[in-house]
Amino acid sequence: MARISAGVTTSHVPAIGVALDLGKSDSDYWRPVFAGYEWSKKWIAETKPDVIVLVYNDHASAFSLELIPTFAIGCAERFAIADEGFGPRPVPEVVGCPDLAWHIAQSTILDEFDMTIVNKMDVDHGLTVPLSLLFGRPEAWPVKVIPIAVNVVQYPPPTGNRCYLLGQAIRRAVESFDEDLDVQVWGTGGMSHQLQGPRAGLINPEFDHEFLDRLVNDPESLRSLAHIEYLRESGSEGIEMVMWLIMRGALGADVNELHRFYHVPASNCAVGHLVLEPAANDSGGPS
């Protein structure tokens, strides 16, 4: 059977992608950011997952205000790189895993989550920057990816609780797939940042550190964190962090923390990154 072997969270700051693509990752500004991912790059090169269920948000690249799915699962064979205004990033196309994606779609929908099934979806920095941070600049991504796009752009986004429950449903789906696959779940975006309005530039390390601690050790307490708290404490774009709860729900009650990194600032954003694995013998916790 397929199994979830690990979870990763990371910010997806677009300027990180630009720094990599233009060969500036060793500059004084960017070196400390990339240094925080060195451990993870080695770890993932050794663990070699087969598939990543990559939870991210589209930034008006594949979707627009004309169509706003709350949760969308990419079931295609491949996903093209979106043009975000300066041409697509020079990174490989993303190869999907249709069999498992359709199984997750079926399992979660019959589990009463209203997923939107997407068969054509260009993927933007929300998905490609996390891949670049963990895999660098390969000729082809060494892993299949199932994109799950979450609306955190247009009010109302899903609640943290709904995200956590979806993570648990994704775990049930993966564990009922009859193929021996090593699957990771990633939650991307965050941490504190606000790109607009009078509070543009807001960063709140105190909130971020507490969020990291609670995500690892007390995720139940984050299920009830209200949208207004994310907005007030972590800025308007800090709401991206609800996506981290999907990853966390998929890992089960107890986890081992393998790696943690936090750095400010990168562009307008606080960069946070975790690598977690389910604790041994964890059956997934209460559902």
Could you say whether residue 193 binds ligand DHB (CB under 6 A)? yes
Residue among 269, 274, 275, 276 that touches ligand DHB (CB under 6 A): 269
Q: Does residue 259 have an active-site annotation? A: no
Site residues for ligand DHB, 18-37, by CB under 6 A, read none
- Which residues touch 223 (CB under 8 Å, ≥6 apart)? 160, 161, 164, 245
Site residues for ligand DHB, 36-65, by CB under 6 A, read 59
Q: How far is the CB of 189 from ligand DHB (least distance, A)?
A: 6
The Cα–Cα gap between 221 and 229 comes to 13
Residue among 268, 272, 275, 278 that touches ligand DHB (CB under 6 A): 268
Q: Compute the C-alpha angle 128/132/133, nearest 5°.
A: 120
Q: Are 167 and 247 in contact (CB under 8 A)?
A: yes
Could you say whether residue 267 binds ligand DHB (CB under 6 A)? yes
Burial of 26 (0-12, 13-18, 19+ CB in 10 A): exposed
Could you say whether residue 13 binds ligand DHB (CB under 6 A)? yes
> Within 10 A of 22 (CB to CB), how many other CB atoms are there?
10
Fill in the DSSP letter of residue 236: G
Q: Does residue 103 have an active-site annotation? A: no
Segment contacting ligand DHB by CB under 6 A, of 75-83, 147-155, 172-180, 263-271: 263-271
Which x/- pattern over 230-249 shows residues binding ligand DHB (rule: CB under 6 A)? -------x------------
Could you say whether residue 264 binds ligand DHB (CB under 6 A)? no
**β-strand partners of 277:** 256
Could you say whether residue 188 binds ligand DHB (CB under 6 A)? no
Q: Compute the C-alpha angle 61/9/150, nearest 5°.
A: 35
Interface with ligand DHB (CB under 6 A): 12-15, 59, 189, 193, 195, 237, 267-269
Residues carrying an active site annotation: 125, 193
